[in-house]
Amino acid sequence: MKRTAFTLVELVTVIAIIAVLIAWLLPAIQKVREAANRMACANNLKQMGLALHHYHDALGAFPPGMVAGVEDLEQGANSGFVPLLAFLEQENWLRRWDPQHAWYEPPNFDTVSLSVKVYLCPSNRTAANIDLQFMAAAAGRPLPSPAATDYLLCKGTNAALCQVTQVPLQARGVFDVNTRTRLTDIRDGVSYTFAIGEGAGNSPRYGIRRYYPDTAPASDLFPGQPEQIDQSWSSGPLSTKAFHSNAFLFGSCFGVTAQRGGHTPVMDEPMNQPLVLAARYYHCGCTNSGTAPETYDTISGYRSMHLGGCNFLFCDGSVRFVAENVNPAMYRALSTMAGGEAVGDDF
């Protein structure tokens, strides 16, 4: 008698074979997807590089890494990613920005919540906001939920914050508070100096530590605060007296390769460190010459979701992948613009 259907054993066998094939194919599919995301992430940096150079051509210098508040560094500041919007085909959003008001005040209140695709790495996320509503009661005012970013402007090897930078010249990066760096100021060569690097945010891969020596995650978070590091493309510091949030632990628009460049010890900030230092401003003389906790300002290091390193935009507009096991001295040298170090192409 002729059979017209599969037996149960045959069906189970076919399903098992299909399951094995899927198990073999999934890692390959994931690798292809990550390769595409990593390429898109690098392309975002290339777009920012073009925007930086167009900005330089139009205004004679790169934008400040952060525009400080009128009365205090903590109040009303905004990041250098804001003025770049005009050169990233986001003029409509920039027209809504009022530099006479703080980022958390109208009309900027709504603008800071807008997610900008080019400021997010698709290996990590494609849309994200930092929920500040748990801080509203302490701040005593309504707060926006600013859109996040996965990229950091290079501040060099020193995290000191001040309205007029006093970081030693050999430790300075291309971006700082209220600075305007020209291409001619980059004495180490535009092909060997970081402009922007990756700073993956809100990922369980990257927690927060409070002080440089800490080996355990921060335990003094505000109720409701995420345990992962994150930062906004638009806002000023989120640890601020204006919000009664001096212990508030989040990142800023800056990235560094060390905390005390220009001094000994430099206190390296290795790439892809699992516990990330948040952005903290301690009013400590603008140079970071101290070594005890709360005697030096801190800023986050660079980190990505890619295996083995991070993408960096260099000041010549090129984008290169730098391995996380890069020599610490070379890593620091790549982040400074006038350190005078000899840097080869092997990094």
- Asked if 194 and 181 count as a contact pair (C-beta separation under 8 A), the reply is no
- Asked if 198 and 309 count as a contact pair (C-beta separation under 8 A), the reply is no
- Pairing relationship of beta strands 309-314 and 151-156 according to DSSP bridges: unpaired
- Strand segments, DSSP code E, in the chain are 66-67, 78-79, 151-156, 194-198, 207-209, 254-256, 275-277, 309-314, 319-323
> In angstroms, rounded to a whole number, what is the distance separating the alpha carbons of residues 239 and 297?
12
**Can you give the pLDDT at residue 3?**
56
Q: Select from 202, 210, 225 the least CA-distant residue to 278.
A: 210
**Can you give the pLDDT at residue 105?**
87
> In angstroms, rounded to a whole number, what is the distance separating the alpha carbons of residues 236 and 38?
28
The single residue listed with the structure tokens 């210098």 is 61
Helix (H, G, I), strand (E, B) or coil at 78: strand
> In angstroms, rounded to a whole number, what is the distance separating the alpha carbons of residues 152 and 161?
15
> In angstroms, rounded to a whole number, what is the distance separating the alpha carbons of residues 265 and 324?
21
**pLDDT confidence bin for 311, thresholds 50/70/90:** very high
* Pairwise pLDDT comparison (206 vs 163), residue with the higher score: 206
Q: What's the pLDDT tens digit per position in 115-138?
A: 999 999 999 999 999 999 988 888
Helix (H, G, I), strand (E, B) or coil at 234: coil
Q: What is the pTM of this model?
A: 0.89
> In angstroms, rounded to a whole number, what is the distance separating the alpha carbons of residues 347 and 267?
21
Q: How many CB atoms lie within 10 A of CB 16?
A: 10
Q: Select from 199, 201, 213, 209 the least CA-distant residue to 257.
A: 199
**Can you give the pLDDT at residue 223?**
84
Weakest mean pLDDT among 73-82, 175-184, 209-218: 73-82
**Can you give the pLDDT at residue 97?**
87
**pLDDT confidence bin for 176, thresholds 50/70/90:** very high
pLDDT at 198 over 90: yes
Q: Which are the contacts of 99, defined by CB distance < 8 A and separation ≥ 6?
A: 67, 78
- Pairing relationship of beta strands 151-156 and 254-256 according to DSSP bridges: parallel
Tell me 228's DSSP state: B
**For the residues of 166-209, what is the DSSP string, one character each?**
---GGGB-S--BT----GGG-TT-GGGSEEEEEB--S-TT-EEE
Q: What's the pLDDT tens digit per position in 228-267?
A: 999 999 887 777 777 777 667 789 899 999 999 999 999 9
**Can you give the pLDDT at residue 95?**
86
Half-sphere exposure (Cβ direction) of 97: Cα atoms closer than 13 Å: 22
Quick one: CA torsion of 218, 198, 108, 91, rounded to 10 degrees?
A: 180
User: What is the total residue count of the chain?
Assistant: 347
Residue type, position 141, single letter: R
